Every structure is written in C-alpha cells, then in structure tokens.
C-alpha cells in the first residue's frame, strides 16, 4: 500500500512494485498536492493503478516524451547556448539510441553500451553526453518520471583527447605581425588579456581604465545576442559564471595599442546603440558587436601568411631540423580565436604567474580548468626562496611581449587603424 510523507514543503508518495521478479520500493513527488489529504488521494489512485494493470508513474513514460517535457519546462529558462547543447545531445544522439524505451526502466549497462556506440566522438564529448542525460534524470526524478538516476552507476569515459593546443609566444608573434590592421587591436586584446570572445564583444570604453591598466568584465554577448535583445533591448548577457565577473589587468603593449585605437579606430564613426553613452570598444560599422566569423577569418588569413613567409625562409621545408623555438606549432585551417586565450595562459605561466593568479585573470569557476595549463608553469622554488629572503617585494605578471603593430602610412585621419 502506498504511503505519503513530507520533505520540506513537498509531499512524496512511497510505493512498491515488482521489477524483474523482485519487489522494489520507489518514491515519487506528489505533483500538485498542497496538503496531506491531496497527497493521500493521489496515493490511493496509484494503488488502484498498480493492482489493476501494474501501472507505475515511474515506468511508462518513454525517453522521448520526458525529453519533450524537460525541454518545454526546464530548458526554456536556460540561455541559448545551453538549450542548443542539450538539443544536439538528445536530438542527434540519445533519442535515436534510447528514445523508444521507458526512461525509468533504463539500466546503467544499457546506457554505457549506447554511449560507446556513438561513432567518432571524443572522450570529452561522451562525458558531456552522459552529464546531459544525467541532468534529464535529475529533473525526471523531481517530477515523478523516474525513481533513480542510473547514470550515476555508469563509468565516465576516461582519457584525454589530445594535448591542450596553445599558441607559443613565438607562434603568436609570427601570426600577429601579419594581421590586417583593421583587426589587429581585437586580436591583440584577446591575446594580451585572455578574454573570452563574448567578453571582448561586450566591452565598452566604460569598462576600460587606462590609468589602472585594467578591463572590467561584467557582461558577455552570446552569438548574435538576439535572445538578450528580445528580453532587455540589449545584446548583453551575464558572464559565463560568477568568477567570470572580474577585473583583468593588462600590459603596457596593449595599453598603447588601445590608446591609439581609441583615437583613430573606426568605432568613432559608429552609431550609439542600446542606449549606451558611447559606441562599443570593438563594433562593426553598424554599431553592433563585431562578427565572430569575420574576426576568425582575419586570424586564419594572418596564420596562412605567417606559414607562407616561414616556408620562404626555409625553402627545404624540413621544419624538423629547425631549433625548437623556431618551429611552427599551429595549423591555420583549424586555428580558432580561443587559441589566443590558451596562448595567453601559457605565456603568463611561462613568465612566472601562479596558477591561482591565472585562475582569477581568466575567470575560471573550477580550478581544474586552470590546471590544464599546469605543464607550462615554471617551478616556483626560486621565487619561494626569494620571498623568504625578502628579495621580492611584489609579484610580476610577466614581461610584455611588445607591440606587434606594423608601421602604417599616415592618412588624413592620422596614423593607425584608418580604413
């Protein structure tokens, strides 16, 4: 016989049913029950259903049906990137593999088997798929569609897909020297600040403190910002996490570049949108946040030119005989803007920054993310000895790499970034 009990402000129904010839005790929320009387009425109906047809609220709903309810109620409150990620995971993978099976009847071994049947996926992608299915189960348990989460008993796919790809300081300089002057400030800011792309797109001049050499990160722009515009009239959203709201200190080389960009950049002729007192720091001519694809192609074009000039300097093409510091460690066709962020982390650590300090600069909510770069951290023993001897007064954030600014011909508007 089903019984009821209260946890906090919610009522739950506890009942027993037979699964594979053995009796199993389950507990589901009494959805909609505001008091004990209502919960008992629901428990009676559940008893009748179990006696007449073996009905259980936790055995009938298939994965596809529960996913649609999860999508309509839970995911609609999440940001666009989260909805898209879950949509790909279920529509392209899980629904095809297990969509016709009752959610509550799935066993851990079945989930693990299906997880490894997905072709051509990296270990990290399989881990993400398992996490997202587990998220569906957590919601299903709260709403009475499942009694337990079998994903907890599934072994997580282990192993690293590949080493973390970063740009070495030498490679970064080779590329940035070839960048179109119109996009040089954008790419240099990414490399010398470690900002995420969306954070760079959301920067305004009010976020920049030239005297303190710092950038204040308090917002971001996801994709085209359409979702945020529909809610607030602006393309800005909250940063990725609480840790992402931060102050990033930059180097003298970037301060000099931004000072020139502030005077001669094309943003001066852009319209002021979204009620801002002045244009964005890096807008398109229309005043909207710059286009991600345009900037990525500018980076790859510069990388291709760097490779071409490197080949001219080494006509034999046998790069393996070059000194390590002169080898090219990037592929122009797979280079992304996020590699500049990785390159920033590598350079900071190689110049002596501590992992804890790097975490604050980059806005990582989880320290494990920062530990990806641990291989580039220099040994701290000499610095510790210096601190003990009183030879170090303050922490240096590393030597500036210098401006990669190419000399430009003077124009009517002055030197620099005129179109």
Q: Residue 398 has what pLDDT? A: 39
Predicted structure pTM score: 0.61
In degrees, to the nearest 5, what angle opens at C-alpha 308 toward C-alphas 304 and 311?
A: 140
- 63-153 folds as DNA polymerase; domain 1 (1.10.150)
Alpha-carbon distance 58 to 47, whole Å?
13
The pair phi, psi for residue 286, each rounded to 5°, is -75, -10
User: Could you tell me which of 124, 126, 121 has the C-alpha nearest to residue 154?
Assistant: 126
What letter does residue 36 receive in the DSSP assignment?
Answer: H
Which residue, chain included where needed, has tokens 């490894």? 116
CATH dotted code for 169-389: 1.10.443.10
Q: Which residues are CB-contacts of 131 (< 8 A; sequence separation ≥ 6)?
A: none
Edge-to-edge order in the sheet of strand 22-29: 3-7, 10-19, 22-29
DSSP-derived 3-state class of residue 114: helix
pLDDT along the chain (419 residues), means of 10: 81 72 71 80 73 53 88 84 88 90 86 89 87 90 78 80 72 92 94 94 92 93 69 80 92 92 80 79 86 92 89 57 55 89 92 91 89 77 54 42 44 44
Query: CA 304, 183, 363: angle at the middle one, nearest 5?
Result: 100
Structure tokens at 202: 């959301």
DSSP-assigned letter for residue 218: -
Q: What is the pLDDT of residue 59?
A: 52
């Amino acid at each position: 016989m089903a019984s009821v009990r209260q946890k906090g402000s919610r009522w739950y129904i506890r009942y027993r049913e037979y699964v594979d010839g053995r009796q199993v005790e389950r507990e589901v929320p009494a959805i909609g029950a505001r008091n004990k009387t209502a919960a008992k009425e629901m428990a009676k109906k559940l008893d009748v259903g179990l006696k007449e047809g073996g009905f259980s609220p936790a055995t009938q709903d298939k994965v596809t049906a529960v996913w649609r309810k999860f999508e309509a109620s839970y995911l609609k409150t999440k940001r666009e990137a989260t909805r898209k990620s879950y949509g790909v995971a279920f529509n392209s993978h899980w629904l095809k593999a297990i969509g016709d099976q009752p959610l509550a009847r799935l066993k851990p071994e079945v989930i693990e088997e299906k997880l490894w049947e997905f072709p051509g996926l990296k270990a990290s992608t399989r881990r993400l798929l398992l996490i997202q299915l587990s998220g569906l189960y957590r919601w299903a348990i709260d709403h009475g569609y499942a009694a337990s989460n079998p994903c907890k008993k599934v072994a997580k796919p282990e192993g690293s897909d590949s080493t973390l790809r970063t740009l070495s300081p030498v490679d970064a300089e080779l590329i940035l020297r070839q960048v179109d002057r119109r996009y040089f400030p954008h790419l240099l800011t990414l490399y010398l600040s470690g900002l995420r792309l969306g954070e760079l797109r959301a920067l305004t001049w009010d976020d920049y403190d030239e005297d303190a050499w710092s950038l204040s990160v308090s917002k971001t722009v996801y994709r085209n910002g359409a979702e945020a515009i529909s809610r607030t009239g602006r393309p800005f959203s909250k940063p990725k996490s609480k840790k992402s709201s931060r102050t990033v200190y930059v180097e003298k080389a970037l301060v000099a570049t931004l000072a020139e960009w502030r005077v001669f950049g094309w943003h001066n002729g852009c319209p002021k949108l979204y009620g801002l007192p002045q244009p964005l720091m890096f807008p398109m001519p229309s005043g909207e946040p710059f286009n991600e694809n345009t900037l990525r192609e500018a980076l790859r074009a510069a990388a291709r030119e760097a490779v071409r000039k490197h080949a001219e300097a080494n006509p034999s093409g046998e790069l393996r005989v070059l000194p390590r510091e002169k080898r090219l460690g990037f592929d122009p066709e797979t280079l992304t803007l996020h590699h500049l962020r990785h390159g920033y982390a590598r350079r900071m650590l190689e110049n002596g920054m501590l992992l804890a300090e790097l975490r604050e600069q980059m806005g990582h909510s989880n320290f494990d993310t920062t530990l990806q770069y641990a291989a580039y951290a220099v040994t701290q023993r000499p610095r510790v000895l210096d601190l003990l001897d009183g030879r170090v007064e303050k922490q240096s954030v590393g030597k500036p790499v210098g401006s990669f600014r190419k000399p430009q011909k003077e124009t009517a508007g002055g030197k620099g970034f005129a179109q």
